[in-house]
Structure 1
Amino acid sequence: MSTDRPNILILMSDQHSRGVLGCCPGQVVRTPHLDRLAAGGMRFTDAYCPSPLCVPSRMSFMTSRTPSRIGTWDNPHILSSGVPCWPHYLGQAGYESVLIGRMHFVGPDQRHGFESRPLGEPGACHPGAGSGWGQAWRRIPVESTGQSRKSAEIAGAGTTLYQWYDRQVAEATVEFLRRRASAPGARPAPGNFAASSSVHQDHSMHTPDQDNHRTIRHWPEARGPACRHRRRTSRN
């Protein structure tokens, strides 16, 4: 593994507001591991995504171009496979590019330059559910549309498939990192990797009933350095 260039690990959550980050002032939530990453790295207090919609924003992230330049105005829009993305460039530079989890690619191309994708997009959030996003947007009752998608109220309290999916993303990411650590010389030089690990939460977060809500009593402590830098900087 090359020592003169860094490996890249992108940790991405979905619709994650600063209001649910313990490192932000005045918050009551506890996110010890994210807080440790924030304390050992750089926080940007003025950052804006290029679109309030998922696909345009993510495709802009993939291409470093605005949604208007790449023609992804809405969630159904397909990013052309001819548009270069950052995995293409890193692959040409000798990096192993891996996508683990969500990226909301639309259309037949589900990699857009990533060399491999051990885990694809998540399915519906409850067993037997369809999509029904349009009906939900127009606030049409599920029963009247024939859609099998179930809201949190219908499904009741418990673990959704999205939560299980996020656990799979985490496990696949750890497995990939362990494989790279155990066989650093398995690839030709320079042998660096760029991995994107993307979970689906907080996308489907819901306000729980008090009867089903309980604060974790014994929080696990974050152990070890969150990240290593040649130069340590921070911004509050």
Structure 2
Amino acid sequence: MMITAEVKTKYYKGTDHHAIYTYYRCTRKSKTIECNDPFTREEALDQQLSELLFTVSLRPDWAKQMMRDVEKDADASAQSVSAIVAEKRNEISLFETKLQRLLDSYLDQDIEKETYRKKKQELVIKKKTLEESIISLQQSQNSWLEPMKEWISGAAGAPSIARGNDLIQKRVLLKKAFGSNLRLTHQKARGSALEPWAALRAAPTSRNYVARKGVEPFLLD
């Protein structure tokens, strides 16, 4: 969040004590351009930021359904990857058989050394490519799963954070949802949410979540 904060101490003579207040003002776009907007009290800004968090929140029933859909997609992806990996391992076995036959032919002096070397190199490269492809598939098959679960949990937990008093939690979630797009101008906090958070801002909570292929929510009036 690119919002300028200033801490001020105020002395109350009647009660003989000091109070510390935090004020915020508009985002400084340039060091040479001063912000002429009046300061905003921390309490007022906190309320506005909480309201922004509500706009990127996910209804509990949507969150539960999306989590179920995510798990289904993960299972389907695992089955698909397993089938592909099995096919590639069969191909690797064929290349290993060809390599053994090639070696036997060379040892039996049926082929020249140079011919053996070239054909062996070709087979080894193809076998290595398949092995690397398997590793890549296994490592990437669920690379999307944890980020998706984290996003669903974060969006579902937004209302609780918005209602709370933990400013650090609010700042962390706002950073995830809005990035550096959050601004304070004319004492009003505003900003455009990042994807996929932006989809939640465009989805009235009165709409229904309809499961479809994949985990992206489909909204109907």
Same fold (TM over 0.5): no
> Which TM-score applies when normalising by structure 2?
0.21
Q: Mark the structure with the bigger radius of gyration.
A: 2
> Which TM-score applies when normalising by structure 1?
0.20
Q: Which has the higher helix share?
A: 2
